[in-house]
Copies of this chain bind each other. A is one copy, B any other.
Amino acid sequence: MAQDPRIDTRRPLTLRDVSEASGVSEMTVSRVLRSRGDVSQATREKVLTAARNLGYVPNKIAGALASQRVNLVAVVIPSLSNMVYPEVMTGISQILEHTGLQPVVGVTHYLPEREESVLYEMLSWRPSGVILAGLEHTDAARAMLENAGIPIVEAMDVDGVAVDSAVGISHRRAGMKMAEAILAAGYTRIGFLGTMMPYDHRARKRLEGLEEGLAAAGITLADREFYSGGSALLKGREMTEAILARSPDLDFIYYSNDMIGAGGLLYCLEKGIDVPNSLGLAGFNGVELLQGLPRRLATMDACRLEIGRTSAQIIAGIHPNGLIGGERIELTPKLEMGDTIRR
């Protein structure tokens, strides 16, 4: 039960309290608690016992100010609710766990101004590094990053100019690769379905890549549609129904993500549409969810885990290839044909 805040004189414990309780100088207490320098076994135990008994929790604010070192890594991502960024986070955590660094997450909801303010807020805590999604930022955000004097990794995308390091895939190339696969399978009337995200640059680049790939074969996108908000699975259904009603002769639909693709797939199966023969489908991301669907949706793995891991390695300065920043690391997404592209 919390004490009544009015009579709660509880001053948070300080190093001095531990020092007095143990009869050891503050400095030595500090050494013990950080395992720095040589301290005799006897002293160490006195200190540890006192600290534990008091329930002392070090004040990292003071520690950081004094040492000019902060074990925090700022991670700035657009969203937590669509499965893709949590997996990047997982990769980051896996690496940072062994380094004494801690990720701190900020969410932008795909809004550039929000990214800017989240970044400002995080930089004001002087983190050891920043990992953020994408290469597109406001001018002010970019300036902050350039002036921060810490390693910056722009993750997920390599199509553009990075402030410092970039780790990701080329979404443009991913779109082109999909175009090639679609064409190779003999589809010619291709539609695109995406959630309407004015600032989802990566989805936009995939679409551009797709169009470029199709253009090389003299084909233009037959139809496209964008929606926003709501359940992605449901939107996938609705959009698929809508686009097929409007363009019944489509023989392929490329979805900007797996969730709406899954919705589309479920819709098609219910309607008895012959997938993949009369209609081919493909999504993007390679999310785990797809494994439980009645049929395996074609997709492309976005290398999320690897991106997270590599980004964290660069920040922590422990990349196996000795990368130290300023690099552009392009990973290659794997196309998974699944059961929704005919062969």
Contact = CB atoms under 8 A, between A and B. Distances in A.
Nearest to A114: B97
Contacts of A102: 121
A126 interface: yes
Contact of A266 (B3, B10, B151, B292): B292
A125 B263 contact: no
B70 A61 contact: yes
A220 B144 CA distance: 62
A326 B1 contact: yes
Interface residues of A, number: 66
A5 B317 CA distance: 13
Nearest to A143: B55
Interface string A233-252: 11111000000000000000
A8 interface: yes
A2 B89 contact: no
Nearest to A87: B81
A142 B180 CA distance: 57
Given A61-B126, A102-B121, A121-B102, A55 B144 contact: yes
Given A125-B61, A326-B1, A233 B149 contact: no
Interface of A: 1-3, 5, 8, 10, 12, 55, 57-62, 64-65, 70, 80-81, 83, 86-87, 89-90, 93, 102, 104-105, 107, 120-121, 123-126, 143-144, 146-149, 151-152, 163-164, 230-237, 262-263, 266, 270, 288-289, 291-294, 324-326
Given A2-B147, A10-B149, A55-B147, 4 more contacts: A1-B326, A231-B291, A231-B292, A233-B291
